[in-house]
Chain A
Amino acid sequence: MPELIKVRPTKIELVKLKRRLSLAQRVQKIVKDRLSILTMEFLQTARDTVEAKRKLLDELSKLYKALSIAVGYHGYIALEKELIATEADSEVTAGLRNIAGVRIPSFELMSNGKPMREYNMVDTSSWLDHSAQLSEECLKAIVELAELQRSFELLAMEINRTKRITNALEYIVIPRLQVTINYLNMKFEERDREEKARLKRVKVLVARG
């Protein structure tokens, strides 16, 4: 049973309580709408995260296989010598986007058109090209997963916070207001009944003279 709010039993207090109740219901409505949107986005992000993780693991396993074949073909030292001077810069654009009040990071791997392969194409085999191509795919998948994972965490935190507000409104604020309004209404009805009984009694006394 929700607690009663301590107020003076007056009509003005009743009006004030009714106003408070309508305001609380409006807040609850918007918070609930926000919660439903956040939940929808959260579920979508969770699904995407699982998919992205699976994709990344697949890509990594393919990459390791291709790389071990390339290492076997060229020899570790020769391959290291070939790759040591081939560091390519990759650019990631980072920004923010807003989902129902939650700021979500947005990452995108920028491709400048040329592949990240700056080793000597003459001295190396197609196995290395294949590994390089797979590593590019891996990099893309890592960036995508980073964005999704962070979004997932942020959305979960916001859902928790919003849920607390919704629960507070639904189970504490609004029921207390409703109970107090009911109590005041009953009190006023009781007062009316007492008043009527008193008037009847006075009428009888006056009639007896």
Chain B
Amino acid sequence: MSKPSQDETRQSPYEKMLQECLSGELRVVNAGLPRSQKRLSNLLNEKYPHVICKDGSTHLFKKSELEYLASIIDADEQERLPLPMLIELGANQAEAAIICEGNVEEKVISKALNMSVTCEQRRIRVYKPQLALLRRKFKTTTVYVFSPKIVA
């Protein structure tokens, strides 16, 4: 039996370009993700509150936003709130999910949206109009995550 030629097994330049485009897009959209999250209580004590992103750049928080967050939760919860909050965009285009560690995020989102939300499987599901509202209030304290599930 004859072996397949090298050209057949190797990716064509066209496929390579598409593959690069895909990985490039994923890399670009997730470049703003923080390497690690910081607690609100720590950020409040920093002169220039910021986190380092995956691409090495800095993501600066607005003090006014941090102060607003501090005003809606108590001191104990401030120590448990990781920032920036991650908004995951999945396969369903109509909704997004806020990744949460505990019930602090639930409280923050509920107060910001002025409606009750529930955390299921470490995710708080919000719809696009609510997402716009949330982003308006928390411009620097929330970050989008493009989940690989989108392209799965």
A interface with B by C-beta (< 8 Å): 12, 16, 19-20, 23-24, 26-27, 29-34, 36-37, 40-41, 44, 48, 93-101, 103, 106, 108, 110
Contact = CB atoms under 8 A, between A and B. Distances in A.
A24 B28 CA distance: 17
A96 B21 CA distance: 25
B151 A26 contact: yes
B62 to A, nearest CB: 5
Contacts of A37: 89, 144
Contacts of B8: 12
B21 to A, nearest CB: 5
B73 interface: no
Contacts of A93: 48, 60
A95 B48 CA distance: 9
B60 A36 contact: no
B9 to A, nearest CB: 10
B38 interface: no
A40 B53 contact: no
Nearest to B151: A26
B151 A24 contact: no
Contacts of B14: 20
Contact of B25 (A27, A36, A96): A27
Interface string B73-114: 000000000000000010001000000000000000000000
B15 A33 contact: no
29 contacts: A12-B8, A16-B12, A20-B18, A23-B19, A26-B151, A27-B151, A29-B151, A30-B26, A30-B29, A30-B151, A32-B93, A33-B146, A34-B25, A34-B29, A37-B144, A40-B132, A40-B135, A41-B135, A93-B48, A95-B58, A96-B57, A97-B60, A97-B139, A98-B32, A98-B53, A99-B144, A100-B29, A101-B31, A106-B62
A101 B151 CA distance: 17
B123 interface: no
A20 B15 CA distance: 6
Interface string B104-146: 0000000000000000000000001001100110011001101
B128 A40 contact: yes
B69 to A, nearest CB: 15
